């Protein structure tokens, strides 16, 4: 006997419910806009809430890992790498841990897909979509901003598009994911830390607003 | 030739200097105006005005003057008065002049402002293939070579422009003035995007694994800094290879009255003249132990000053140099030393005596009048950073200095004058070679560029250091005016006193005399102290005495720099739940639980905490109340071995828990002491959701992972933190069933269908998916409603709406504490402290006799089955209004109060209870479970409070309230 993990709801009800959601930084969107700067010394910040995120655990090299990759249509990434693109991706979090990322609303279907693929093998998959929100930091000075908070080597020779890391920004644990060369980054942070992290980032961005 | 306000500024046709003569900068020192040029330091601007004298010395009040032109300066210290916060103890030699600068001179002691430092400080973390410290000729060469190989390079220098000592001298490189070579190099480095040049940046510390801290001064040189640019930045640099081109510091000479204003390092005189176009004196005696000061003499002569004598300790200085200065108009006195100075304040003359081979004075003497004495006691390679990171130094008698014992290999490469190489061609060659090697070792194979032709400064013949110029009349132990450390007013006589008390180690002598403990940490005085000590102890060389330990920071920096941005609001993360702003709007008073802000109580009107908590408690016991419990830790535990795993983790059994049910669990450390507790639900055969205490969430996950990874890797179990996947409210009280029934219309919430410790998944009104459980931390009928976190705000609002006609009352942690204590439920960390077992808490029922679990063996240790262990009890003050302070001790009523008084235990929790209409407490007391009914004493403020020991369950001991009122 198994209690269904999620209650099946009809589509209309789901849409009503969706309108009741709030990203943890929703109320600061205008402030982010105001404190972002464009141009050659620009850097911009915004929230990308509600991304589907599943925490995937598999034994590396196992047949169940292979069938999960098949089912997702994406290879499981090498260490500190991301497979896929910014829409559908798998991020390496550890030797036996990955983060599946997809657009909003895909959690249930992806859970089913992965659980089916894991059937009979070892591993777990857990919906953590609401566990973290995502900040997008981009612009020519984005790396300069992160270098104030993060002790990793973010130089293009060491960290580029498709790289990710679980690391600290200041005193906050995040998943840092570089998307493109601009550079643009996604910073995935547990919701309770989001306000503090936003404060840290805006503080670090301030000198680029001086022009 | 000179302007009246700047009598010592040399005409541009004589020396251009590195200053901008088109602009004037105005500053004040001690209220008096100082006018200088961009490019000046405060010291050079003051010297240009003829102000050589600074504040008197720290102990003796002797007149002092500017000695150096660098960070070794012992005398010319000021307190900055402008800027965000008055900053003490800055050498004027290191302060770039800026418009509006205000300072006051200091006699060796500054003052700390009470003002808050509002300037910004921040940090930056960077990695590089090669870091080069020092942008003199060797450092520039190393950077060029490494950068040409393609390596990432960071070049760090204390000053505003590259060049180091080249800017003080007049050398040619490749047939042109060195400044042209520097300019080309600076452009090449600036254009290479793999190179970062940090000027105005001091490498403070060099640590293991090529980790360096660099302090960059970013705005102090600006009259109006940009508003959001930090004043100083601390760079954390990690490098594959380190090249130290830190240069050398000239040391003074120890002779009688060597502290008089006008006594200046020869290199400083040269620096002021060539770099700043300032002639500090018109009639300058030069006193030297090596070749380098001849360049000072030649430059002085070239600039129109008179040089009455060059006093050289050596019997046979280089004939070429002697001839050069003779041709320029100065004469050299060999085998001689300055033995005394004269003057009221500033020096007006020197007395010179001959030195024989063993350093004693010979018969002849001579006197010269002068207004400047340029001294050179030799050079100290700046080995501080090298030594900080464990590099050993040795005494090199050829260059008369401590030099790195080994360089290269796994340690930093040390180049140029930092390793005692003083000729320009040698510096360039070493720099190019080290830069190319560093690039090659970090994966960018490259060869050193050819060394260009150089001309100008040449040094070669051996120095003859004289550590202690004998006094003409006094024995050395009475040389109370031979200053070794000017900043500390410490003399040769002081050092004799140290050795006469039996000290031999330079470390002891340093601490006894305070030599080298000043601002410059011995950069100026340290080696002279070693040399004098070697003389006193009749050691063969300073190398036999050795150096003191070199420690970071290399130069002083404000402590605020290390704090960086982590001050005030940004000091530490503040964690909030999605309903936080609703609690704020409701007027909640918050408390810190770890990094979380949790609502403590919700005062209405003028209520204090006491009144608010009584009201909130009453609502929970008689109506309905609601708490935000989103902060509780949650861990999803998945895998076929999850039941076995939880059985081993918890003291009670979970393998047989049915799917759809929940159970309270307690976990212990291997020592059998309570670690954490919480309710776990079985979501499926192979899936549990564990909850932990708010503060224990991270620790418990680590604990689970540790056992899985190190002890039981065979278990097929995965743990995932889902603390923040969920937002949750506890709905508590007899009316909670009504409220939850309205919230979840599809759910049958009747007692028959929704039993205690069961959970169901459903949709709330609005379609919000939810998991609702019947758990209770108050003894009342209660539900916990969990929704995905982004619905937290909607959940809170829906709950308040659903209960509005029932007077639903939000409550905080304080009420939660009271409610649970009335039922005798413990809080891990409040009623336990790491020395308490489940049995001590009277929770034997939660300790399985059948299965094994972490801590089980410890629970049978003799000490843990002792009968007199402290056990959890209830405590009722005889006076029902007396509130016992938590932490109070419990003692027998009849015991003598003469210390030591035997302590029976202590109060762990203490509250006013609305339900009991009195105060009550929980406590741990020896043999407590056998002592119900006994009366003991709690001394409070010198008065004894009588308390009765009771069962810890005060309220509804039968548990009839758990299922709520019968449904009508």
**B172-188 tens-digit pLDDT:** 999 999 999 999 999 99
Structure confidence at residue B367 (pLDDT): 97
Q: How confident is the model at residue B652 (pLDDT cuts 50, 70, 90)?
A: very high
**Among the four given CATH numbers 3.40.50.300, 3.40.640.10, 3.40.605.10, 3.10.20.440, the one describing domain B1-117:** 3.10.20.440
Structure confidence at residue B408 (pLDDT): 62
Test B228 with A209 for CB contact under 8 angstroms. yes
Is the Cβ–Cβ distance between B228 and A210 less than 8 Å? yes
Q: What is the pLDDT of residues A51-93, one digit of tens each?
A: 999 999 999 899 999 999 999 999 999 999 999 999 999 999 9
Paired strand residues for A56: A98, A125
DSSP symbol at B410: T
Residue ranges of chain A that CATH labels 3.30.70.1520 = 51-128
Residue B789 touches partner A, C-beta closer than 8 Å? yes
Residue A74 distance to chain B (closest CA, Å) = 22
From first CA to last CA, the distance across chain B in angstroms is 109
Percent of chain B with pLDDT over 70: 98
Test A2 with B127 for CB contact under 8 angstroms. no
Q: What is the pLDDT of residues B212-266, one digit of tens each?
A: 999 999 999 998 889 899 999 999 999 999 999 999 999 999 999 999 999 999 9
Smallest Cβ–Cβ distance between A7 and the set B569, B639, B761 belongs to B761
What residue of A is the nearest CA neighbor of B764? A17
Test A157 with B718 for CB contact under 8 angstroms. no
Test B761 with A6 for CB contact under 8 angstroms. yes
In CATH, B633-721 is 3.40.50.2300: no
Structure confidence at residue B406 (pLDDT): 83
CB contacts < 8 A, A to B, total 162
Interface of B with A in 109-148 (CB under 8 A): 122-127
Tell me what ipTM this predicted complex has: 0.94
Residue B210 touches partner A, C-beta closer than 8 Å? no
What is the per-residue DSSP string for B1-12? --BTTBTTBPPT
Token couple for B24: 């004037």
pLDDT at A9 over 50: no
In angstroms, rounded to a whole number, what is the distance separating the alpha carbons of residues B846 and A143? 53
E strand map for B565-668: 589-593, 596-601, 625-628, 633-638, 662-668
Question: What would the mean pLDDT of A120-143 be, rounded to a whole number?
Answer: 95
Structure confidence at residue B148 (pLDDT): 98
Domain ranges of chain B: 1-117, 121-248+380-455, 467-539, 579-631+725-818, 633-721, 866-950
- CB contacts of A148 in chain B (<8 Å) are 122-125, 565
- Domain B121-248+380-455: give its CATH architecture: 3-Layer(bba) Sandwich (3.50)
* Mean pLDDT estimate for chain B: 95
pLDDT at B407 over 80: no
B446: Cβ contacts below 8 Å, ≥ 6 apart: B145, B146, B148, B149, B150, B151, B436, B439, B440
Q: Strand, coil or helix: what is B805?
A: helix
Residue B575 touches partner A, C-beta closer than 8 Å? yes
- CB contacts of B685 in chain A (<8 Å) are 1-2
Q: Which CATH superfamily is domain B579-631+725-818 in?
A: Probable tRNA modification gtpase trme; domain 1 (3.30.1360.120)
Is the Cβ–Cβ distance between B184 and B197 less than 8 Å? no
How far from B461 is each of B292, B315, B324, B626, CA to CA, in Å? 10, 12, 15, 88
Token couple for A81: 């790498």
Q: What is the pLDDT of residues A109-124, one digit of tens each?
A: 999 999 999 988 889 9
Residue bearing tokens 């040795």: B394
Q: B444, B698, B718, B758: which to substitute to probe chain A, counting the most A Cβ within 10 Å? A: B718
Around Cβ B900, how many Cβ atoms within 10 Å?
A: 6
Residue B788 touches partner A, C-beta closer than 8 Å? yes
Question: Under CATH, what is the fold of the domain B467-539?
Answer: Arc Repressor Mutant, subunit A (1.10.10)
Q: To the nearest 10°, report the CA torsion of B377, B378, B382, B387.
A: -90
Structure confidence at residue B5 (pLDDT): 78
Token couple for B33: 């105006």
Residue ranges of chain A that CATH labels 3.30.1360.120 = 24-49+131-211
Structure confidence at residue B968 (pLDDT): 43
pLDDT at A2 over 80: no
State the SS3 of B873-889.
EEEEECCCCCCCCCCCE
Structure confidence at residue B459 (pLDDT): 60
Residue A73 distance to chain B (closest CA, Å) = 24
Burial class (CB in 10 A: 0-12, 13-18, 19+), B602: buried
Paired strand residues for B649: none
Residue bearing tokens 């560093």: B438
Structure confidence at residue A76 (pLDDT): 96
Around Cβ B40, how many Cβ atoms within 10 Å?
A: 29
Q: What is the pLDDT of residues B735-775, one digit of tens each?
A: 999 999 999 999 999 999 999 999 999 999 989 999 999 99
**Among the four given CATH numbers 3.30.70.1520, 3.90.1150.10, 3.40.50.10890, 3.40.50.720, the one describing domain A51-128:** 3.30.70.1520
pLDDT at B267 over 50: yes
Residue B754 distance to chain A (closest CA, Å) = 15
Q: What is the pLDDT of residues B553-574, one digit of tens each?
A: 999 999 999 999 999 999 999 9
Paired strand residues for A43: A37
Around Cβ B584, how many Cβ atoms within 10 Å?
A: 13
Residue A147 distance to chain B (closest CA, Å) = 5
Q: Strand, coil or helix: what is B276?
A: coil
Number of residues assigned to chain B = 968
In angstroms, rounded to a whole number, what is the distance separating the alpha carbons of residues A71 and A119? 12
pLDDT at A193 over 70: yes
Angle subtended at Cα B891 by Cα B885 and Cα B892, rounded to the nearest 5 degrees: 140
Task: Determine the CATH number of domain B866-950.
Answer: 2.40.30.110
Structure confidence at residue A196 (pLDDT): 97
Question: Under CATH, what is the fold of the domain A24-49+131-211?
Answer: Gyrase A; domain 2 (3.30.1360)
């Amino acid at each position: 006997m198994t209690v269904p993990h999620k209650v099946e709801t009809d589509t209309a009800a789901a849409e009503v419910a969706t309108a009741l959601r709030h990203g943890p930084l929703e109320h600061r969107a205008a402030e982010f806009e105001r404190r972002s700067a464009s141009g050659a010394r620009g850097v911009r910040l915004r929230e990308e809430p509600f991304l589907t995120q599943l925490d995937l655990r598999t034994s590396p090299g196992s047949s169940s890992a292979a069938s999960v990759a098949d089912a997702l249509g994406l290879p499981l990434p090498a260490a500190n790498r991301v497979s896929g693109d910014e829409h559908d991706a798998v991020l390496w979090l550890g030797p036996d841990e990955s983060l599946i990322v997809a657009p909003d609303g895909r959690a249930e279907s992806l859970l089913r897909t992965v659980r089916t693929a894991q059937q009979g093998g070892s591993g777990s998959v857990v919906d953590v979509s609401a566990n973290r929100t995502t900040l997008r930091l981009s612009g020519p000075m984005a790396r300069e901003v992160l270098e104030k908070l993060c002790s990793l080597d973010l130089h293009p020779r060491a960290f580029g598009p498709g790289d990710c890391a679980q690391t600290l920004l200041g005193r906050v644990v995040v998943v840092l994911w570089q998307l493109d060369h601009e550079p643009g980054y996604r910073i995935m942070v547990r919701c309770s830390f989001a306000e503090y992290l936003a404060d840290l980032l805006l503080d670090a961005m301030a000198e680029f607003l001086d022009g | 030739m000179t302007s009246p306000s700047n009598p010592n500024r040399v005409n541009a046709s004589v020396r251009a200097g590195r200053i901008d003569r088109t602009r004037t900068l105005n500053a004040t020192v001690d209220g008096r105006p100082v006018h200088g040029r961009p490019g000046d330091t405060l010291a050079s601007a003051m010297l240009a005005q003829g102000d050589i004298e600074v504040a008197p010395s720290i102990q003796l009040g002797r007149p002092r003057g500017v000695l150096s032109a660098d960070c070794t300066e012992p005398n010319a210290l000021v307190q900055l008065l402008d800027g965000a916060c008055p900053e003490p103890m800055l050498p004027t030699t290191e302060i770039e002049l800026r418009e509006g600068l205000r300072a006051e001179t200091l006699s060796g002691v500054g003052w700390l402002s009470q003002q808050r430092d509002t300037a910004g400080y921040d940090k930056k973390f960077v990695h590089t293939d090669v870091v080069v410290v020092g942008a003199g000729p060797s450092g520039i060469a190393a950077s060029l070579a490494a950068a040409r190989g393609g390596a990432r390079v960071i070049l760090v220098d204390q000053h505003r422009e590259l060049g180091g000592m080249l800017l003080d001298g007049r050398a040619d490189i490749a047939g042109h003035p060195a400044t042209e070579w520097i300019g080309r190099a600076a452009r090449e480095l600036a254009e290479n995007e793999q190179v970062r040049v940090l000027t105005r940046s001091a490498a403070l510390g060099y640590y293991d694994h090529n980790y360096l801290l660099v302090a960059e001064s970013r705005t102090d040189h600006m009259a109006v800094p940009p508003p959001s640019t930090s004043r100083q930045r601390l760079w954390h640099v990690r490098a594959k290879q380190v090249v130290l081109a830190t240069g050398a510091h000239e040391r003074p000479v120890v002779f009688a009255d060597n502290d008089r204003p006008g006594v200046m390092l020869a290199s400083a005189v040269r620096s002021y003249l060539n770099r700043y176009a300032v002639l500090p004196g018109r009639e300058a005696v030069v006193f030297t132990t090596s070749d380098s000061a001849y360049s000072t003499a030649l430059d002085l002569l070239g600039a129109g000053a008179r040089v009455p004598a060059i006093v050289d300790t050596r019997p046979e200085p280089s004939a070429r140099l002697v001839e050069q200065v003779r041709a320029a108009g100065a004469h050299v006195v060999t085998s001689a030393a300055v033995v005394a100075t004269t003057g009221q304040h500033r020096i007006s003359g020197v007395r010179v005596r001959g030195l024989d081979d063993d350093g004693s004075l010979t018969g002849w003497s001579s006197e010269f009048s002068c207004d400047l004495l340029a001294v050179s006691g030799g050079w100290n390679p700046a080995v501080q950073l090298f030594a900080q990171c464990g590099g050993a130094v040795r005494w090199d008698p050829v260059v008369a200095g401590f030099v790195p014992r080994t360089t290269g290999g796994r340690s930093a490469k040390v180049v140029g004058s930092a390793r005692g190489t003083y000729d320009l061609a040698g510096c360039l060659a070493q720099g190019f070679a080290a830069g190319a090697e560093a690039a090659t070792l970090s994966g960018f194979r490259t060869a050193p560029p050819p060394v260009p032709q150089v001309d100008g400064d040449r040094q070669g013949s051996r120095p003859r250091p004289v550590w202690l110029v004998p006094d003409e009349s006094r024995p050395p132990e009475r040389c109370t005016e031979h200053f070794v450390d000017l900043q500390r007013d410490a003399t040769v006589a002081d050092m004799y006193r140290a050795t006469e008390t039996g000290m031999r180690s330079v470390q002891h002598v340093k601490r006894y005399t305070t030599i080298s403990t000043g601002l410059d940490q011995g950069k100026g005085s340290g080696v002279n102290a070693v040399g004098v000590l070697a003389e006193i102890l009749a050691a063969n060389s300073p190398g036999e005495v050795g150096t003191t330990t070199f420690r970071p920071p290399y130069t002083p920096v404000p402590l605020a720099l290390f704090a960086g941005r982590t001050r005030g609001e940004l000091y530490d993360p503040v964690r909030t739940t999605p309903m936080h702003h609703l609690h704020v709007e409701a007027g909640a008073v918050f408390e810190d639980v770890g990094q979380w802000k949790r609502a403590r109580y919700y005062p209405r009107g003028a209520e204090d905490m006491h009144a608010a908590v009584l009201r909130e408690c009453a609502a929970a016991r008689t109506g309905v109340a609601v708490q935000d419990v989103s902060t509780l830790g949650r861990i999803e535990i998945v895998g076929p071995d999850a039941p076995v795993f939880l059985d081993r983790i918890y003291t009670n059994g979970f393998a047989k828990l049915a799917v759809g049910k929940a159970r309270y669990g307690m976990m212990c450390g291997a020592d059998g002491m309570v670690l954490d507790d919480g309710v776990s639900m079985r979501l499926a055969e192979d899936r549990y959701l564990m909850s932990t205490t708010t503060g224990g969430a991270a620790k418990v996950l680590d604990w689970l992972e540790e056992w899985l990874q190190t002890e039981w890797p065979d278990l097929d179990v995965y743990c995932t933190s889902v603390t923040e996947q969920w937002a949750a409210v506890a709905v508590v009280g007899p009316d909670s069933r009504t409220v939850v029934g309205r919230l979840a219309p599809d759910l049958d919430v009747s007692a028959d269908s929704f039993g205690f410790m069961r959970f169901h998944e459903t949709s709330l009104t609005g379609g919000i998916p939810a998991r609702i459980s019947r758990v209770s931390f108050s003894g009342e009928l209660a539900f916990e409603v969990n929704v995905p976190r982004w619905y937290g705000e909607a959940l809170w609002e829906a709950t308040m709406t659903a209960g509005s006609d029932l007077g639903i009352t939000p409550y905080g942690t304080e009420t939660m504490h009271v409610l649970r204590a009335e039922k005798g439920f413990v809080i891990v960390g409040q009623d336990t402290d790491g020395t308490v077992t489940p049995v001590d808490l009277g929770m034997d029922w939660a300790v399985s006799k059948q299965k094994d679990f972490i801590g089980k063996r410890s629970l049978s240790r003799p000490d843990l089955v002792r009968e007199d262990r402290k056990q959890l009890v209830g405590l009722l003050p005889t006076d029902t209004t007396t509130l016992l302070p938590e932490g109070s001790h419990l003692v027998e009523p009849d015991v003598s109060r003469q210390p030591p008084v035997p302590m029976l235990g202590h109060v762990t929790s203490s509250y006013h209870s609305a339900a009991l209409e009195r105060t009550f407490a929980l406590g741990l007391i020896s043999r407590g479970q056998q002592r119900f009914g006994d009366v003991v004493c709690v001394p409070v403020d010198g008065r004894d409070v009588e308390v009765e020991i009771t069962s810890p369950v005060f309220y509804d001991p039968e548990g009839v309230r758990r299922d709520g009122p019968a449904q009508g």
